[in-house]
Chain A
Amino acid sequence: MMTIFQFFNRKAEGDQVLGTVVYIILVLLFFIGMFYYVSLQRNGAAASEDFYAKEISKVINFAHPGDQIVFDVQTPTEIAAKSGIKDSKEIFNFDNTNKQVCVKLSAGIRSCYSYFNNVNISDWKINYGVPKNMLIINIAGGKNAA
């Protein structure tokens, strides 16, 4: 028959197991988080996303309707290819409604930056290998453009 001391000891053992499980989950979450963070930074994907989103939006801010912008995107397309992103429409995204440029060079996350020039991106494409990968953006007038 179980004594009162044995009963309390069992309860304490249960608490200890629960504590250990929580501890292991915490450590696993930490290492998964760190691995995810480092894998995002690998190849400088996050830094390149930041740089290209800001640079492209800067150029768009200066553009006028009818302009064609040609941008060297050799480095970001190489980084995207290493991350398994091959579709150019996935690498660059131009949101005419929210006036923002988004660049995605690693799986799962993209970096977006807004421009304030009242223009729309009417059409864009990447020309591969002439002599480098070039992003070609055609600018059209935006809503209520003067």
Chain B
Amino acid sequence: MLRNKRAEMGSQIMVLATLFLMVIIAVGIAAGVSLYFGSGVDARQADADILKYKIENCFNEKSISDIGKNIFDSCGLNKDSFNGNSLVFKICENSNLNDCTTSSASFLSSGSNFQSCLFTGKESSNTFLKCSYAQISRDGRNFVLITGSSQQIRRINA
């Protein structure tokens, strides 16, 4: 029994070495493929910019009361797209960017975690929000608009 256990010890060490080798090969292939084809297009900033553009335009075209009642219908936004928290917006009245980002009070908002818009070094991460900002003045009222997106491509078995 003792003799056989000693033999098993050697093969167990070899399994660990093989697993380590597999990880190295997998990382190497993934890195090679990623370097050759690129790591995909990052559309988060574009999403945030387009959403900002649409809401800004909406403030120019529609009345503030209509927007306040239902921003989704007034501005032609699909409400269900904002359910997953990957697309967010927040509008604050008489506020500045920092206060609007951190405070819980707002004129209108959808989604959460706006603080991550202010994180430094988030550019290297694929999961954080990318944000866009605007100041809107209308009928003597001043608003700060923050929009953000953390949407990723979804790979679905088909």
Are A117 and B54 within 8 A (Cβ)? yes
Interface check B140, CB cutoff 8 A? no
Interface check B153, CB cutoff 8 A? yes
Q: Count residues of chain B with CB under 8 A from any CB of chain A.
A: 44
Interface check B65, CB cutoff 8 A? no
Q: Count residues of chain A with CB under 8 A from any CB of chain B.
A: 49
Are B51 and A34 within 8 A (Cβ)? no
Q: Total number of A-B contacts with CB less than 8 angstroms?
A: 122
Are B41 and A50 within 8 A (Cβ)? yes
Interface check A74, CB cutoff 8 A? no
Residue of B nearest to A93 (CB): B158
Interface check B37, CB cutoff 8 A? yes
The contact string, 1 if C-beta is below 8 Å from chain A, for chain B 103-125, is 00000000000000000000000
Decide if the interface of chain A is mainly helix, strand, loop or mixed: helix
Interface residues of A, Cβ cutoff 8 Å to B:
8-9, 12, 15-16, 19, 23, 26-27, 30, 34, 37-38, 41, 44, 46-47, 49-51, 53-55, 57-58, 61-62, 98-100, 102, 104, 108-119, 142-146
